[in-house]
Amino acid sequence: MDKNTITGFVLIAALLIGFSFLSRPDQEQLDAQKRYYDSIAVVQEQQREALEAKTAAALANEKETIEKDSTALFFNAVNGTESFPTIENNLSKITFSTQGGRVYSAMLKEYNGQDGEPIVLFNASDAAMNFNFYSKKEGAIQTQDYYFNVVNHTDSTLTMRLVSDSDSYIDFIYKLEHDSYLVSFDIEAVGMASKLASTNYVDITWSQRARQLEKGYTYENRLAELTYKLANEGTKTLSANKEESKNLEQRADWIGFKNQFFSSVFIANQDFDKVMVKTVPEVQGSGYIKDYSAEMNTFFDPSGKEATSMFFYFGPNHYKTLRAIDKGRTDKWKLDNLVYMGWPVVREINKYITVNIFNWLTSWGLSMGIVLLILTVLVKVAVFPATWKTYLSSAKMRVLKPKIAVINEKYPKQEDAMKKQQETMALYKQYGVSPMGGCLPMLFQFPVLMAMFMFVPSAIEFRQQSFLWASDLSTYDAFITFPFTIPLLGDHLSLFCVLMTVTNILNTKYTMQQQDNGSQPQMAAMKWMMYLMPLMFLFVLNDYPSGLNYYYFLSTLISVATTIIMRRTTNEDKLLADLEANKKSPQEMKKSSGFAARLEAMQKQQEQMMKDRQQQKNNKQ
């Protein structure tokens, strides 16, 4: 070996030793690593303790002493080969695993994912389900540790059996009816009365990482919620924005892991008891929306006299589909509450009016963009009487503006503000004009307009429906995508949102023009805020569905056109003449009653208080 070779080996050795020294973790990294592994150990220990607690509770009433036996109850099911039988109909295909006898994946045939293929709600890497039965001798028996045998299998039915011996077994029976997303699931015990503990329940753990199935993370995350229905009560949800867990004090009919447009729901005919539910938001970009989990128990008869009756719903959050499930049922599941339609009053408008009109329009075979156009026009027609009353009230105040200007000139000083206000109100009263006359009609419009705001983002019918440049009306229509993220705005700009913003600025302009600010000089200083609001909408609604922004664009455009038409068709000279003709006499003005009288009394009281304060101020000086 020559000198150069030896020198090379020495240098290589020095590099390796140096790299090892420099790349070794420092004390802080070692401490962090230790904490990480300690946390894993803590979680594993907590899970072990929880299982031991459940086992102890299940066997608390057993008189027989628990002893270890060399022959396990389901010894023959410990080893096996996992297989994946399926059942399907015209709507869905459900795959099962013989390991644990559980649902392995759910595919919906009539809906596609972002890749254009039939959508898969979850598979084994996303979801898990385990049932804990209890043995007198062995304690907890977890189905996830055992292999089931397929004993009956057709296109729509599947029976998987956990075998103890030829006379003792537990059957998991699944059935999928034609034209339905509902999978019935029964558990039947045969010959197990002497082998299982005499507890009348089975413990269940269920978890699922909800996939991001839509283009936009922000809005799908907002509508993805863990939802549950309490027995004999309504539905409730956990937070959509933060981690939350809850132990339910009441029994529950069902628990739902909900995405924006699809849900996995577990239903118990005999109710779930001792329910703990938890939701954890997933990080944007992970491919998931939420991490859901639930622990509960439900009825189980070890003697086999009565089966455990449950159902799964793997399907769309489609209002009519979910509502149809309750037909013929005395105990309503109310799965249609998975479709969020707003607060109580708004929800009733959507349930009984919006949904039916929408279904009628879609039955014509029109594109969703045209359906939204017609629906917007119908909404505007419905609220037009209130719109006209609001406009007329502002028009009356506008024609009285010259008279208000005279009052303003009469009382230019700040200390005369109360007198100016009293005289202004007296003028309005004389001409039969109420400054609040346009408020009630506006309040009437609000629930109707909010109904559409809640309905459009929740309607699965808009999903993957294109219109003009928008490829999917259920998500944003980015016509500009930035290589960076702008705070509050995001990494894109939605065209329908921009159009909506522009029309809102125009609407604000025409609205401000027809308002009378003569008696309210402070409003003039706030005009810029009125123009700022539409720009705020650009940031707020940029991530919202393009169908919703399209609706607001149409609605605002119609409002602008309506305002222009009403302004041009209103003869203000005639309106003023009508007000003059109906003007109250001084004698009639003295007869104040009701709200006007109370308002006048309050103004006089306020004026007296101002005089007293001014007098006190003068005395101090």
Q: 182: closest CA among 306, 328, 58, 302?
A: 328
- Average confidence (pLDDT) over 407-413: 71
What is the rounded distance in angstroms from the CA atom of residue 461 to the CA atom of residue 372? 11
Which range among 253-257, 277-281, 346-350 shows the weakest confidence by mean pLDDT?
A: 346-350
Query: What are the CA-CA distances from residue 463 to residues 108, 460, 615 (Å)?
Result: 14, 5, 69
Which range among 16-25, 361-370, 594-603 shows the weakest confidence by mean pLDDT?
A: 16-25
Enumerate residues 6+ apart whose C-beta is below 8 A from 143. Answer: 100, 101, 102, 130, 131, 132, 133, 162
What is the rounded distance in angstroms from the CA atom of residue 278 to the CA atom of residue 367? 40
- DSSP letters, 19-83, are HHHHHS--HHHHHHHHHHHHHHHHHHHHHHHHHHHHHHHHTTT--SPP---SS-TTGGGSS----
- Check residue 425 and give its pLDDT: 74
Residue 247: phi and psi, rounded to 5, are -95, 115
- Check residue 137 and give its pLDDT: 80
Q: Answer with the residue of higher pLDDT: 417 or 199.
A: 199
Residue 58 pLDDT > 70, yes or no?
A: no
State the number of CA atoms in the 13 A half-sphere of 516 facing the CB.
Answer: 26
- Average confidence (pLDDT) over 144-171: 95
- Average confidence (pLDDT) over 101-105: 96
Tokens of 278: 């938890």
Residue 470 pLDDT > 90, yes or no?
A: yes
* Cβ count within 10 A of residue 244: 15
What is the rounded distance in angstroms from the CA atom of residue 263 to the CA atom of residue 210? 9
* Cβ count within 10 A of residue 534: 18
What is the rounded distance in angstroms from the CA atom of residue 57 to the CA atom of residue 51? 10
Residue 76 pLDDT > 60, yes or no?
A: yes
- Fold of the domain built from segment(s) 75-335: Beta-galactosidase; Chain A, domain 5 (2.70.98)
Question: Angle at the Cα of 324 (from 320 to 329), degrees rounded to 5?
Answer: 150
Give the predicted TM-score (pTM) of the model.
0.78
* Cβ count within 10 A of residue 134: 24
HEC assignment per residue over 489-523: CEEEEEHHHHHHHHHHHHHHHHHHHHCCCCCCHHH
What is the rounded distance in angstroms from the CA atom of residue 431 to the CA atom of residue 578? 9
Give rounded-to-5 percent helix, strand, coil for the chain. Answer: 45, 25, 30
**Domain residue ranges in the chain:** 75-335, 355-581, 591-620
For tokens 């459940």, what's the residue? Answer: 54
- Average confidence (pLDDT) over 316-332: 92
What is the rounded distance in angstroms from the CA atom of residue 597 to the CA atom of residue 203? 68
